[in-house]
A and B are shown apart, each in its own frame.
Chain A
Amino acid sequence: MKIIVGVSDMKVSNDSQSDIITYSLGSCIGLVVFDPFVKTGGILHYMLPESFIDREKAERNPYMFADTGIPLLFKEAYKYNATKKRMKVAVFGGSQILDQKGFFNIGKRNYMALKKLLFKNNVLINYEDVGGNVNRTIRLEIKTGDIFVKTSGSSEVKI
């Protein structure tokens, strides 16, 4: 079964028959976690770094922002007995338009927000494919924990 993670959305599953997929990450980030012991994984697809710009929307949809969405992805995985120590973490997206600099560079800011939060919580990133000017589609196979990346115009690649 395909479990689709929309824009500003998150899904976690331990169903070995399922793949979790998120489409078309531009400057957004797709954060993937997987615990091989309990065979549980999830994807968060967030769009913006910080929720302070609109608290009300962050309450309505916490998956829109890095600072409100990332903790929820981990908490949801813990409900399936996943542990931080065992979890593999992979990061995708954060692309930028050519010449996009400084504060207007939302892709980079999304990535920096993630790095800061994971570092503070002693979480290591096992794999990352971020930046550039492509958009990426990510698929996590729950049975194996394998992650596949597809950029437009290319075929899907297993990482």
Chain B
Amino acid sequence: MTTIQLLIKDIKNLRPVPAIANQIIEMVDNPSVSMQDIAKIIQYDPAVTASLLRTCNSAFFGLTNPVESVKDAVAILGIDQVVELSLLNASGKTLNKAWKGYGLHEGALWKHAVSSALIAKDIANKIAPESRNTIFTAALLKDIGKTVLDKFIQISSDKIQTLIDNNGYSFIEAEKKVIGTDHAELGAMIAKIWKFSPKMVNIIRHHHILDQNVGKDRDTAIVYLSDCICMMMGVGVGVDGLAYRFNDKVIRELAISPDDISKIIADFTINMQKVESLLRVV
């Protein structure tokens, strides 16, 4: 079996993001579906409802009266946030583990995913409000390919590091060269098998913007920027460190200035403690 065939076999064995999350993701992408329709789906899933209520009642929100139903949660937090929390609850179990190949201790990839999703949403609220749910979800799940590629990284880490240190490769370029595929490409394969929308598959596939033309897609560029910000902040960063390419042209086209980036970082840092409490609950 070739490496690629082995990887595809692994994808099929991967514990999928629960069906409910899949359903929500699909609905989020469909403009004819209302947020209320999504709330209805959530309340029929007891596991997601239970963890949603636990999260709503955590220190992250600091509510004075406890939330007791999905309806309450929607009324108090708004439907957007309820959808986000349901997605967080559903994807946490897959992402929360330790990934040794990438040098990520337990919870690190999860922290990176959640932080990146919150930052992406913050940027989307400013410049792409109509796509904020898709952008949030794509940022949350963009590194799903790492969960399958991890054991191959573990056995190829020396070769990958040599290409970065001596040949000017970025980490993802080195993955492709050594293993024959990379975590973004694999992530897109997984997303496709899980029947995510073509738009979501596309953002996951291109979230490191290896091709200049891809950077013209605003939603992909926002997810890319949120990833770069997390790397700079050292949030959930592993052996790949900051060894990815920074594309300032893409950022400039979003009309985001260096000061804007600093402000996003400052905002996120102020909320970091709250984020930590959110991570523990999920």
Contacts and interface: CB of A to CB of B under 8 A. Distances in A.
Interface of A: 6-8, 23-28, 47-48, 53-54, 57, 60-61, 64, 95-104, 106-107, 133-135, 151-153
Interface string B254-266: 0000110111011
B266 A26 contact: no
Contact of B239 (A47, A53, A153): A153
A48 B266 contact: yes
Contact of B246 (A26, A104, A153): A104
Identify the 10 closest CB pairs spanning chains A and B, nearest first: A26-B234, A153-B239, A24-B234, A100-B246, A27-B232, A97-B246, A103-B258, A133-B242, A152-B103, A134-B241
Contacts, number: 111
Interface of B: 103, 157, 161, 164, 170, 228, 231-235, 237-239, 241-248, 251, 258-259, 261-263, 265-267, 269-270, 272
How would you classify the secondary structure of chain A's contact residues: helix, strand, loop or mixed?
loop
A133 B243 CA distance: 5
Contacts of A26: 231-235, 237, 241-242
Contacts of A6: 272
**Interface centre among A53, A95, A104, A106, by most B CB within 10 Å?**
A104
A63 to B, nearest CB: 10
A63 B183 CA distance: 35
23 contacts: A6-B272, A24-B235, A25-B234, A26-B231, A26-B233, A26-B234, A26-B235, A26-B242, A28-B232, A28-B234, A47-B266, A48-B262, A53-B266, A64-B266, A95-B241, A96-B246, A98-B244, A99-B246, A99-B248, A100-B246, A104-B258, A106-B232, A133-B164
B245 A97 contact: yes
